[in-house]
Amino acid sequence: MRTLLFRSLLAPLATTAAPPPGDAALEELGRSLAQRARRVYGRSLAIREVDAGSCNGCELEIHALGNAFYDLERFGLRFVASPRHADVLLVTGPVTSYAVIGAVDKVIPVDLHIRGCPPTPTALLEGLIALVDKASAGSQG
């Protein structure tokens, strides 16, 4: 036990560096999402996130959207506690019941899939922009 303790104290850190501050691409994505959401919905974008049985990798990236680096509430992106208050239902993982049913599109209609396991916060933003654009095109046509 003591050997394991000493080995862990002398081991190098297993963390990665934080993203560089002042990422212009993130700023542009956030402002673009805010502008499009206000045009389509007339207000900020409300998201309800549901874990349908994932490994929680997606949740870590989704929660990163609210941390001090990404701070996406400044762009009007907010997470809500009820699907009744949401504009977007963001589902992660395969749908589980007694057994695994599979992807959520086997249970309810899906408008957009965001690729990645887990998707990066930037990929999540790009997916939300594509979803708002799709809703905008559907409301005009």
Average pLDDT score over residue span 11-28: 70
* pLDDT score recorded for residue 49: 93
Residue 45 lies in a domain: yes
Residue 129 lies in a domain: no
CB 55 within 8 A of CB 117: no
Among residues 84, 87, 82, which one has the least CA distance to residue 37? 87
CB 128 within 8 A of CB 136: no
d(CA 6, CA 8): 5
Residue 8 lies in a domain: no
Among residues 105, 89, 91, which one has the least CA distance to residue 48? 89
| The pLDDT of residue 20 is above 80 | no
Position 14 confidence tier, pLDDT thresholds 50, 70, 90: low
* pLDDT score recorded for residue 54: 87
Give the C-alpha distances (Å, rounded to integers) separating 33 from 2, 8, 103: 53, 44, 26
Q: Convert the pLDDT of each residue in 30-73 to its tens digit.
A: 888 889 989 988 888 899 999 998 889 999 999 988 888 888 88
Residue 16 lies in a domain: no
* pLDDT score recorded for residue 139: 66
In this structure, what DSSP letter does residue 66 have? T
Residue 40 lies in a domain: yes
Instruction: Reduce the DSSP state of residue 110 to 3 states and report it.
Output: coil
Residue 141 lies in a domain: no
Residue 6 lies in a domain: no
Domain hosting 87: range is: 25-122
- How many domains is the chain partitioned into structurally? 1
Provide the token pair at 5.
């303790």
CATH number of the domain residue 54 falls in: 3.40.50.12280
In this structure, what DSSP letter does residue 104 have? G
